[in-house]
Chain A
Amino acid sequence: MKKKVRFMLGNEAIVEGALLAGATFFAGYPITPSSEVAERASRRLPQIGGCYLQMEDEIASIAAVIGASIGGAKAFTATSGPGFSLMQENIGLAIMAEVPCVIVNVQRSGPSTGLATRPAQADIMQARWGRHGDHSVIALSPATVQECFDLMVQAFNMAEKYRCPVLFMADETVGHLRENCVLRSRDEVEIVNRKRPPEGLEEYFPYKADDDLVPPMVTPGSDYLTRFHSSTHNEKGLPTSSPQEARKLIKRLYDKIEKNKDDIIKYREFDVTECEYLVICFGGAVRAARQAAMEAREEGLSVGVLQLQTVWPFPAEYISEISKGKRGVIVPEMNMGQIIGEVRKAIPDEVPVLGANRYDGEPLTPKEIIEVLGEVVSL
């Protein structure tokens, strides 16, 4: 079969990936540099009998997405820094009530309204810790237009499989990039749908998890009554202040992600095992890193690149293993140094770790990474 290849924007590929995953609902509030996601969703969703809702703000947008998912749809939203900040409380709701959904953040420079049209990767720790309370979270990050498409399918699959929100941490460089994108068809990819409870149960417990720590989910109108709850609750979905119940719930919500890291963590390796110097990065920075590695190899340096497609949960064990014996690790990020802290925690003390950082609204260049590489080499 002839492949359907389109020259398209990263933000557009995000919508196409969502549609392939089975999304039928989008609610959002326009914000640069994510607006093309909303625009394409508004064109495409009514064509397939789905719905685009333009809400009054980002709080309402994520709330409507959570509602639509509870109603039985696969749902997503897209935003950037300021909107992502507004969404945090209800992302916590999706974590606590266990509602699958995908939140796209096409990151821009901050804080506050910052540089609205310029790229950054400075929300990556916010993605991990933006909500109050203990929890784990899944965050993916695309580096190419193709990954905008492919990783969106993964994002929905993980959301459905683990009954949780998945954060899709793109950035302006990728969202506004035009590249060829293979629009895969349904039979080329695996599509995961939320687990249903078996029929004929005497009593259905909305928050009673199976062995995989994920409770089956019910759509209103089916044989069982649903209960979703934002407060600490028991298996029946009734609020409780029992310390035992609280501990059990918080632990399960955390473990259902952390104990499935092998399944959730995706990365791409470019000469990672054989290299002497390793570059660890994600999203838009990967492009500069791969170019830098190529140029450095031409100069006779052995440089590999590890691209984290899954940023959260963090692949600490893998990074710890892979960085053993390296002469140096470089972590390029379009921020003042966020993920580098996680890398430092993961790897042995004797391996030097240096950041290559840009936080002026400009994308990282290969040259800047090569300069830092020079510093590492001369150590």
Chain B
Amino acid sequence: MSKRSCEVSWKAFLREENLPHQWCPGCGYGVILKSMLYAFEKGGLAPKDVVVVTGIGCWGKADDYLYANTVHVTHGRALPVATGIKVANQSMKVIALMGDGDSATIGGNHLIHSSRRNIDVVALVANNLNYGMTGGQYSCTTPLDSRTSTSWYGDPEPALDVCRLSETAGASFVARTTVYHATTIEKYIGMALSHEGFSLVEVISPCPTYFGRYNKLSKASQMLKWLKEQSIPIERVKDLSEEDLKEKFVTGVFADKKGHSFLSRYREIQSRARNELESE
């Protein structure tokens, strides 16, 4: 762990020269971004301590508004890039900012294996339930039957549960919340930042411009209210039927396990390799 530069304000991370941001009115990404900066401040981090890796999409623009070490990469590949950065530079806090496309659709394979590997990076998934940047097409997290610009008659594919996937694959910290439940965003990111191993925080975010407009939720307030109505705290899940939970957003902490992270395991591998070399 590197020395943390204490008491750096969240504002030190904000590239104000690039504001106002390009996100639409009613978009939740500004809320998520600010929550992340609050979590940085609370975690005693300074811009030089952090590497933010972004992919492609609306959320992939986030690095434009940041003072930190930033790396903007190809669609879906933020996690393996973050993996390489962390392994090579272990004193950094490495955070991959990904949308539902980056993290779970085009980049889904990397999510499975980063979770399984339990690599010490934070995945902050902003899930707006569709591809906003390209005009509102469906993604793998678009709720079944929703209308989008490529599912005009309804999305025939059921949505993927990003958190359950990551947890099943072996991630040691997994949590989900929504932009409606704004204060929990900072809390979960804070928990993820201090966690050893792979940690994933998924935030369901309103997209009134595309997803909302196509699904009778075109006002920002309507979409926020809908997020509230669709959310079910994880504690209540055991009392509910499969039917009750269909296409709902289960919120809360799915996994918070201590155990071997990739880096701690690899240090053991390095010491075995050195011992073998010395005994040769």
Contact surface of A with B, Cβ cutoff 8 Å = 24-25, 27, 43, 46-47, 49, 51, 53, 55-57, 59-61, 63-73, 75, 89-90, 92-93, 97, 219-223, 225-231, 237-239
Q: Is the CB of A68 within 8 A of B85?
A: yes
Give A89 to B77 CA distance when docked, in angstroms.
10
Give A169 to B79 CA distance when docked, in angstroms.
28
Give A57 to B107 CA distance when docked, in angstroms.
11
The answer to whether A228 and B71 touch (CB under 8 A), given A27-B84, A46-B269, A47-B274, is yes
The answer to whether A221 and B72 touch (CB under 8 A), given A53-B87, A60-B77, A63-B80, is no
Q: Is the CB of B71 within 8 A of A90?
A: no
The answer to whether A90 and B77 touch (CB under 8 A), given A220-B69, A225-B67, is yes
Q: Is the CB of B81 within 8 A of A67?
A: yes
Q: Does B68 contact A (CB under 8 A)?
A: yes
The answer to whether A228 and B72 touch (CB under 8 A), given A71-B89, A238-B18, is yes
Can you report 26 A-B residue pairs in the complex whose CB atoms are below 8 A from each other?
A24-B88, A46-B266, A47-B276, A49-B274, A51-B87, A53-B87, A60-B80, A63-B77, A67-B71, A67-B82, A67-B84, A68-B84, A69-B88, A70-B71, A71-B92, A73-B89, A75-B84, A90-B73, A220-B89, A221-B48, A221-B91, A222-B48, A226-B51, A227-B63, A227-B72, A228-B73
Q: Which residues 57-101 in B have Cβ within 8 Å of A in the complex?
A: 63-64, 67-74, 77, 79-89, 91-92
Selecting from B108-116, B152-160, B212-220, B234-242, the interface stretch reads: B108-116
Closest 5 CB pairs of A and B: A67-B84, A71-B88, A46-B273, A63-B80, A71-B89
Chain A residues lying within 8 Å of B71, measured Cβ to Cβ, are 67, 70, 97, 226-228
Chain B residues lying within 8 Å of A70, measured Cβ to Cβ, are 71, 81, 84-85, 88
* 18 more A-B residue pairs beyond the given contacts A60-B109, A67-B86, A97-B71, with a C-beta to C-beta distance below 8 A: A25-B88, A46-B272, A51-B266, A55-B113, A63-B77, A64-B83, A67-B84, A68-B87, A70-B71, A70-B85, A71-B87, A75-B88, A90-B74, A93-B74, A221-B69, A222-B48, A226-B69, A226-B70
Q: Which residues 210-235 in B have Cβ within 8 Å of A in the complex?
A: none
The answer to whether A60 and B88 touch (CB under 8 A), given A90-B74, A225-B47, A225-B69, is no
**Could you tell me the distance in whole angstroms from the C-beta of A279 to the nearest C-beta in chain B?**
40
| Dominant secondary structure at the B interface | helix
The answer to whether A228 and B70 touch (CB under 8 A), given A49-B270, A60-B109, A63-B77, is yes
Give A40 to B221 CA distance when docked, in angstroms.
58
B47 (CB) vs chain A CBs: closest residue: A225
B61 (CB) vs chain A CBs: closest residue: A239
Q: Does B134 contact A (CB under 8 A)?
A: no
Chain A residues lying within 8 Å of B79, measured Cβ to Cβ, are 60
Chain B residues lying within 8 Å of A226, measured Cβ to Cβ, are 51, 69-71
Give A46 to B87 CA distance when docked, in angstroms.
12
Give A64 to B262 CA distance when docked, in angstroms.
14
**Could you tell me the distance in whole angstroms from the C-beta of A28 to the nearest C-beta in chain B?**
12
Give A73 to B84 CA distance when docked, in angstroms.
9
Chain B residues lying within 8 Å of A56, measured Cβ to Cβ, are 109-110, 112-113
Give A27 to B77 CA distance when docked, in angstroms.
14
**Could you tell me the distance in whole angstroms from the C-beta of A217 to the nearest C-beta in chain B?**
12
Chain B residues lying within 8 Å of A59, measured Cβ to Cβ, are 77, 80
Q: Is the CB of B277 within 8 A of A221?
A: no
Q: Is the CB of B51 within 8 A of A220?
A: yes
Chain A residues lying within 8 Å of B89, measured Cβ to Cβ, are 71-73, 219-221
Chain B residues lying within 8 Å of A69, measured Cβ to Cβ, are 84, 88
Q: Is the CB of A221 within 8 A of B2?
A: yes
Chain B residues lying within 8 Å of A24, measured Cβ to Cβ, are 88
B69 (CB) vs chain A CBs: closest residue: A220
Q: Is the CB of B85 within 8 A of A67?
A: yes
Chain B residues lying within 8 Å of A65, measured Cβ to Cβ, are 84
Give A46 to B275 CA distance when docked, in angstroms.
11
- Of A93, A221, A223, A228, the contact of B49 (CB 8 Å cutoff): A221
**Could you tell me the distance in whole angstroms from the C-beta of B201 to the nearest C-beta in chain A?**
20
**Could you tell me the distance in whole angstroms from the C-beta of B192 to the nearest C-beta in chain A?**
19
Chain B residues lying within 8 Å of A66, measured Cβ to Cβ, are 73, 81, 84
Chain B residues lying within 8 Å of A64, measured Cβ to Cβ, are 80-81, 83-84, 87
Give A313 to B53 CA distance when docked, in angstroms.
32
Q: Is the CB of B74 within 8 A of A67?
A: no
Q: Is the CB of B84 within 8 A of A229?
A: no
Give A224 to B73 CA distance when docked, in angstroms.
20
Q: Is the CB of A220 within 8 A of B73?
A: no
Give A221 to B5 CA distance when docked, in angstroms.
12
**Could you tell me the distance in whole angstroms from the C-beta of A51 to the nearest C-beta in chain B?**
5
**Could you tell me the distance in whole angstroms from the C-beta of A100 to the nearest C-beta in chain B?**
12
Q: Is the CB of A225 within 8 A of B48?
A: yes
Chain A residues lying within 8 Å of B80, measured Cβ to Cβ, are 27, 55, 59-61, 63-64, 67
B56 (CB) vs chain A CBs: closest residue: A230
**Could you tell me the distance in whole angstroms from the C-beta of A56 to the nearest C-beta in chain B?**
4
Q: Mark B39-53, 1 if CB is under 8 A from A, else 0.
A: 000000001110101
Q: Is the CB of A93 within 8 A of B113?
A: no
Q: Is the CB of A67 within 8 A of B83?
A: yes
Chain B residues lying within 8 Å of A43, measured Cβ to Cβ, are 273
Q: Is the CB of B83 within 8 A of A57?
A: no
Give A93 to B83 CA distance when docked, in angstroms.
16
The answer to whether A72 and B88 touch (CB under 8 A), given A55-B80, A63-B77, A90-B74, is yes
Give A92 to B273 CA distance when docked, in angstroms.
35
- Of B53, B113, B273, the contact of A60 (CB 8 Å cutoff): B113
**Could you tell me the distance in whole angstroms from the C-beta of B110 to the nearest C-beta in chain A?**
6
**Could you tell me the distance in whole angstroms from the C-beta of B87 to the nearest C-beta in chain A?**
5
Q: Is the CB of B18 within 8 A of A68?
A: no
Chain A residues lying within 8 Å of B67, measured Cβ to Cβ, are 225
Q: Is the CB of A68 within 8 A of B64?
A: no
**Could you tell me the distance in whole angstroms from the C-beta of A102 to the nearest C-beta in chain B?**
14
